Structure 1
């Protein structure tokens, strides 16, 4: 929207491939906000982080919504990897967060999008009566890229991959497993942890389909797919 393209330039440009950051740009007008859409090469990132750690909030009941994505400080590189892909929708860069849990200070990083109609569309897809749900059209919108971001946020390697799905109902979890098995040929099961049901993807399925996921995995997140020996220590684990 803020890119300047010469009228004499006849090159074909893939829609969405030339979106620039709008960080620091003035507040958009009503008409400008209505023109902003999410192209196919960005929607998978949104879908993946919404299935994991991202949340969408409406400031006013009848107004538009904004998305917030937060990670622990040790995942600094991954958060910026996501931010740089979505900075077209943000007015400010990531910021440090601080929380006290069990008398210990925990730092994190977070970024928030602008309040936009296109984010409201995602809100209507992922929320019902204020509670996050699994979209009914998950089969159509879930891609390998979206799955990678879901695992980066909520996945843990344990021979296979365990995904934290406590916020979803058992019916939603069964639905997710059907999507993963039919669309991606992933062997899945439900594992119990305390009173919660977690999604487990079997190791041989990961190995069989790793080539589909590798193009989207940030190198600091390889350990979530291949095990702890692939963990890369973050250069940004402490705050001075």
Structure 2
């Protein structure tokens, strides 16, 4: 929720080196945002390195309240009960934001902010709806979805038409 507002707003942050992707998201949401964004630097306390980021906020709008109530319980992010919202386009956005290949040939979805129960539901939905073979891996105190190597081609075929070209590296392309 926006400070001093009864309406929700959408915020988006991206590393400066992903500027093309960031601008495409900003442009796609031009009807609910001012089109302005902010550039800033911050120091990562874990590495003591300085990074540059870009961010923007949408306007605080009544139409965003419905999304807020589906994706948040108070101020805690949740997996919505209606998983049919996870369309191929939404799955592409999830991979663009939270996908990671690392040293593996499979694909991780970094679902670190969700409860184990939410990650289980999301994993089962990917299996049932898209026939994607995946499992849950523990990452510290958090849980991530691991898409097995044998399903990476399948998820590529589902989401590639919706992905921004600068983010396809997350699929090993």
User: How high is the TM-score relative to the length of structure 1?
Assistant: 0.67
Partner of 1:22: none
User: How high is the TM-score relative to the length of structure 2?
Assistant: 0.91
Listed as ranges, the gaps of 5+ residues in structure 2 are none
Give per-residue Cα distances to partners, 1:116-154, cap 9 Å, x unaligned.
01111111111112111110112x211111111111111
Number of residue-to-residue matches in the alignment = 169
Taking the TM superposition and a 5 Å limit, the aligned residue runs for 1:1-240 are 57-60=1-4, 63-102=6-45, 103-138=48-83, 140-157=84-101, 158-226=104-172, 230=173
Q: Whole-Å Cα distance in 2 between the matches of residues 136 and 124 of structure 1?
A: 11
Contact in 1 for aligned 2:96/2:170 (Cα 8 Å): yes
Could you say if the C-alpha distance between residues 154 and 209 of structure 1 is closer, same or farther in structure 2, counting changes exceeding 3 Å? closer
Give per-residue Cα distances to partners, 1:198-226, cap 9 Å, x unaligned.
11111221213422211111111111012
Q: Who wins on radius of gyration, i.e. which is larger? A: 1
Q: Whole-Å Cα distance in 2 between the matches of residues 196 and 212 of structure 1?
A: 27
Contact in 2 for aligned 1:161/1:201 (Cα 8 Å): yes
Listed as ranges, the gaps of 5+ residues in structure 1 are 1-56, 231-240
CA RMSD after TM alignment: 1.5
Q: Whole-Å Cα distance in 2 between the matches of residues 208 and 151 of structure 1?
A: 14
